[in-house]
Structure 1
Amino acid sequence: MKQSICVYCGSNAGNNPLYAEAARRVGTYLGENGHTLVYGGGRVGLMGLVADAAIGAGGHVVGIIPDFLHEREVAHSGVQDLKIVSSMHERKQLMADASDAFVALPGGIGTMEELFEIWTWAQLGRHEKPVGVLNVNGYFDGLLEFLDNMTGEGFLQDKHRKMLLESDRIEDLMDGFERFTYPGVITHLEREQT
């Protein structure tokens, strides 16, 4: 099934060449398999690499970038469908609306913010789409351990923890996206009855 996949990732390439290699692999995989890449519209860092690879593999790419970043000439001029919006909030909403699933590659605080926001929206029932992390070179190991601790301490429901898919291979994440079943929300009343 052809999907639109939102990729969150760094506007830097990171220190380890494995991150750039993974971004290229993701873009190539999406392009070769007829999926649409939805991303932040930039030409720098992992963002630019994943877009270049998707375009190079014949894929369709949707980039969504706020005007203040476009004005700094960070926008990717080769993207077929580049949307310029007025705010980060509008960017994230349009990316969410245009996507069937979401994957975070290594990145900084912006990537983490996007990942947590889209996952929170799912937890709250604002969408029922799968969310995952591509755990390149163990980049997300510490975060995943923290999330397990959060669950153990009773701040994250187990079914919501399990909503965040994880793999070091894009192929496995895509398989998980196709098998994903939304677990539903838990209300405070339901928590009190368990």
Structure 2
Amino acid sequence: AAYAFARYSFPIKNYLFVFIVFLMALPQQMTIVPLYFLLRNFHLLNKFQGLILVHSAWGLAWIIFFMRNYFSMLPTDVEEAARIDGASDFKIFYKIVLPMALPGLISAAILQFTWVWSDFFLALVFLQNPEKYVATQRLPLLRGQYFVDWGILTAASIMVMLVPLLVYTLFQKYYISGMIGWSTEK
């Protein structure tokens, strides 16, 4: 979808893009009740699959926005050369554009992973079974009613923070080049 928004013209392109930007502005709290009933009706409450579906759908709007801007920065010279050589649009996308967009895709994946990993609200609402709690739900449970063991709470918080830090460290090269964008000398 992001590539189509960046490279192709179609009649309602601008209206659809404004709608996607509007979806980014919706707060999660506004949609939580319909999502709850939807997951309950599909028997996906207290299941990781339901939480994964909600996070995937919720992240689509900003990922389309992010990748559209990234695809817009990619040079079109290589695509035009491939088109002249007889490559189809499908082949141009998979063989040329997708490899050039890899840093942007990895950047979007890292940002989405960090957001999902740090999310407390959706997990709190959709995972009510204590056996299925995610890390962010477990941290507040480490406090006692009358006493807080700050050493354990701090150690657990650091362990939870290490996962996104490790992901970022492993993919730092792609993340930085994805944030900077594509540049060519003319």
Q: TM-score range by the shorter chain?
A: under 0.3
Between 1 and 2, higher relative CO (CA 8 Å, sep ≥ 6) is seen in 2
Q: TM-score under structure 1 normalisation?
A: 0.24
Q: Which has the larger radius of gyration?
A: 2
Which structure has the highest strand share of the two? Answer: 1
